[in-house]
Amino acid sequence: MSSRIVVGIGGGIAAYKVCEVISALVKSGAEVKAILTPAAQEFITPLTITTLCRQPAYADASLWQPHHTRPLHIELGEWADLLVLAPLTANTLAKLATGLADNLLTNTMLASTAPILIAPAMNTTMWQQSVVQRNWQQLLEDQRYHALGPAAGMLACDTVGEGRMAEPADLLTYINSLLVTKGKRDLKGKRILISAGGTREHLDPVRFIGNPSSGRMGLALALVAWYRGAEVQLVHGPLATPLPTTPQLETVAVTSSGEMRAAVLAAYPQADWTIMAAAVGDVKPAHYFPEKLPKKSLPTDLPLKPIPDILAELGQQKQPHQKLIGFAAQTGDIIAPAQDKLERKQLDAIVANPIDQPQSGFGTDQNQAVFIDATGHPVAIPRCSKLQMAHQVLALIDGLA
């Protein structure tokens, strides 16, 4: 059955971003119904939303139409698997925080038990007002509400500051996660350390030994863990895509394996789970040249030296309450090398993924893997998006003895 989502649109210039969200959801197979507040219709027309949703958009006048056999706000509230409110204005925020329901949107919110994703957007000065912050904190005490943003940047009023609505791509990622978790924060109270991306070992300021890791898998794990309530620290090498502006993850950017080792070892003692999804190099040039070498001076034979094994070092330091999970990117037989790595490095589990299969491994939006625990029991994860795989991996880790 397709997902059923009610999108509420508030009155703000950021309403135009919601069109992209609705379009993407419908294309993915979700059924979307939308509600526009009176102020929202000053920025975007019901015809636009109707066209994107493939069904009529609702406005306050719809609340009183006699052809409904049951009150419309009750029908919509019970129908929805998830409600999304974007942009959330200061006015609607105040209503929701105090339980007021004077239009179709706020009535529907109160008539539903589904999780609600809210994305505020307003002028920086408005956002920073103590009364707005009080309403915001009060609303977040309700576990039904999941917040994304606001971000900082250029606002429609030509000022720069906090108040920008989350970008459509970030909203879609969170929406997809909420549809999986049903709004549960099952990792609340966990501190999770995650590494992502590849490392680079420089020969000179320009040339380096590296690998094609994009960091997408590690970033997906970090986002999903955060969505599910965990406290997350992400240590990452160079990434193929920018970090999201919302949520603002706790991150440490590194380049070399030495920098990654220092950052991971510093954070490791505080972590309940550590997931090493980064593609850390195995060797580096034996000599580093601080100035760019002329082409004619490049060595024909490049002396190499091994890089310390971060994962094995973590395995030696692991405490009984900690869980340590590795990744193994392999070609050919992925099981036997992963099991060997799991045992040698004293891991609780390992995720073995093929990098010689189409739409799998480095640089793709999808992945597939076999999750192997310390007993050697394998669980296959069929090809899916890296976000979906992240949910499955975290659920399997949570189920470890």
- Catalytic residue positions, numbered: 157
Tell me the C-alpha distance between 185 and 3, whole Å. Answer: 20
Least Cα distance to 82 among 139, 150, 25, 37 occurs for 25
Length in residues, the chain: 401
Q: Are 198 and 212 in contact (CB under 8 A)?
A: yes
**Residue 206 in 3-state DSSP?**
coil
| Cβ-based neighbours of 281, under 8 Å, separated by 6 or more | 198, 199, 200, 201, 209, 210, 211, 257, 307
Q: Which residue has tokens 């917040």?
A: 147
- Long-range contacts for 259-262 (Cβ within 8 Å, ≥24 apart)? 260/195, 260/199, 260/235, 260/310, 261/308, 261/310, 261/313
| Cβ-based neighbours of 130, under 8 Å, separated by 6 or more | none
Strand partners, 304: 285
Q: Residue 168, preceding bond cis, omega within 30 degrees?
A: no
Tell me the C-alpha distance between 314 and 260, whole Å. Answer: 13
Beta strands 116-120; 145-147: pairing state? parallel
Q: What are phi and psi of 254, to 5 degrees?
A: -135, 170
Q: Which residue has tokens 């990744």?
A: 327
Tell me the C-alpha distance between 196 and 345, whole Å. Answer: 19
Judged on CB neighbours under 10 Å (0-12, 13-18, 19+), 182 is: exposed
Least Cα distance to 206 among 286, 294, 283, 292 occurs for 292
Q: Residue 87, preceding bond cis, omega within 30 degrees?
A: yes
